[in-house]
Structure 1
Amino acid sequence: MTVAHDVFAETNPAFCTYVLTAFVTSYLSIKKDGPELPISYMALPLALSGDLASTFTGTNKNTGLLEWLERNPRVHVGLSIRINASMNIVTDAIRFACFARILHLNEAGCLQLGPSKLKKSAVKALSDEPAQSIKHAERLGFWFAMAGSTRTVFNVMELTV
């Protein structure tokens, strides 16, 4: 039996809203001001990248961004290309999440949880790979928040705006 990988399904705004909300929720558990919008453009492609999935093996929320990157220097390879290629996907996810009132962009440019909630049953019904993307986003949320400022995250990831 051949298993098809549905890239379209994993990059649609509704699914990406789940991934992005997992990132924001875990970030908020560390820093109440929420993630600044630019690091969402980094988090989503990292969490969704199937070729980076193995880099999350053996990690947890306490691993930290620096340790993860030290263990997996290949994360840096082509990172700016990966982020630039996914900008439309992330923008669509943010718009969808804000219009659905799942997320809210505050006046400071930080993402916050909105008044609407996502259905947890939808996540439980996911196959392994999409479910792992959500777990990876959660870890990235913890790691980015623990790293400090958005500037620090960009510096550690060797990116410039």
Structure 2
Amino acid sequence: MQNNYFAAAPKYQEDSSNQQTNTEEQQIGKKAVFYYKMVAKTLGQYLSIYDGKTEYKMGVVMHQPAKPDHQGGFYVYDSLDQAIFADVPLKKDGLYFAPRTVIKCACWGDKIEYPNGKIAFEYLCPVQDMGMPKGYLATKAAMKEAYQLYSEKLKLKQGAGPKSLKKPTWKN
């Protein structure tokens, strides 16, 4: 379920004494905290990497009850680094190989914290596209391949590679 964020934004109501009083929306707004979520970014849309269908729109409040055992809620992380390096399970209809970005989200409501740092929230509202670090490789497979190539080059540079690839050593 999606609602326009601005329609649900905190509002003030004035009473007869001209003092501002809190509404329910304002109380929710006070409990919102910012978290980070890795998403696929394709054709200007922010989509779930996991299911490939859930769309995240800036300024739009989303609701899904947070349930134990990864059965519901919106999954986010405390830090940008955690979101960037989070494990996303490979799923047939997912967007595992799509270009990625991290979105900053206001999150509130019921929450469930998991040991790997993942947090499921009942409410989520994307507020900003944070982008990706310079040089980020889109998938863990690409990162692993790049690391292996780097390691091989480093070993060759240090003389630990196959004899045929080592620099010849000249003795006088």
Alignment TM-score, normalising by the size of structure 1: 0.26
More helix by share: 1
Whose RCO is larger (CA < 8 A, sep 6+)? 1
Q: Could you say which structure has the larger radius of gyration? A: 2
Alignment TM-score, normalising by the size of structure 2: 0.25
